[in-house]
Structure 1
Amino acid sequence: MKKFIVVSLLVAGCAGSPNAQLSEAGESRLQLAIEYMKRDQLERARTHLDKAYSDAPRAESVIIALGQWYLRKENVKSALLLYQQALSWQPKSGALYNNYAIALCLSGDTQQALAMFDQAERFQQTVAANRAQCLSHR
Structure 2
Amino acid sequence: MKNWILLAGLLLSGCATSPAQQLSEAGQTRLTLGVEYMKRGQLQRAREQLNKAYQDAPRSEAVIIALGQWYLRKEKVNSALLLYQQALSWQPISGAMYYNYAIALCLAGNTEQALQLFAQAEQLQQQVAVSRAQCLSRR
**TM-score, length-scaled by structure 1:** 0.86
When Rg is computed on C-alpha atoms for both structures, the one with the higher figure is 2
**C-alpha spacing 1:12/1:29, structure 2 compared with 1 (3 Å):** farther
1:19 Cα deviation (Å)?
6.5
Partner of 1:101: 102
Q: CA separation in 1, counterparts of 2:92 and 2:8?
A: 18
- Residue 17 of structure 1 and its aligned partner are, at CA, apart by 2.2
Runs (5+) with no aligned partner, structure 2: 127-139
Instruction: Give the match for residue 3 of structure 1.
Output: 3
Deviation by residue 1:45-95 (Cα, 9 ceiling, x = unmatched): 000000000000000000000000000000000000000000000000000
Change over 3 Å in CA distance of 1:78–1:20 after alignment to 2: closer
Quote the Cα distance in structure 2 between the aligned partners of 1:12 and 1:33.
16
Match in the other structure for 1:84: 85
Distance 1:94 1:65, change over 3 A: same
Is 2:60 the partner of 1:32?
no
Structure 1: runs of 5 or more not aligned: 126-138
Distance in 2, matches of 1:61 and 1:103, equals 16
| Deviation string, structure 1 residues 10-41 (Cα, Å, up to 9, x no partner) | 33355452165111110110011001101110
Partner SS state of residue 27, structure 2: helix
Distance 2:17 2:26 in 1: 17
Does the aligned pair in 2 maintain the 1:12–1:65 contact within 8 Å? no
Shift of 1:122: 1.4
What value does the CA root-mean-square deviation take over the aligned residues? Answer: 1.4
Q: Identity over aligned residues, as a percent?
A: 69
Partner SS, residue 108 of structure 1: coil
Deviation at 1:42, TM superposition (A): 0.3
Of the structure 1 ranges 42-51 and 4-13, higher mean CA displacement relative to structure 2 is found in 4-13
Q: SS of the counterpart of 2:62? A: helix
Q: Counterpart of 2:77 in structure 1: which amino acid? A: V
Q: Please list, as runs of the form range in 1=range in 2, the aligned pairs for 1:1-138 lying within 5 A after superposition.
A: 1-13=1-13, 15=16, 17-18=18-19, 21-124=22-125
Q: Which runs of 4+ in 1 moved over 6 A?
A: none
Q: Given residue 101 of structure 2, which amino acid in structure 1 is its aligned partner?
A: Y
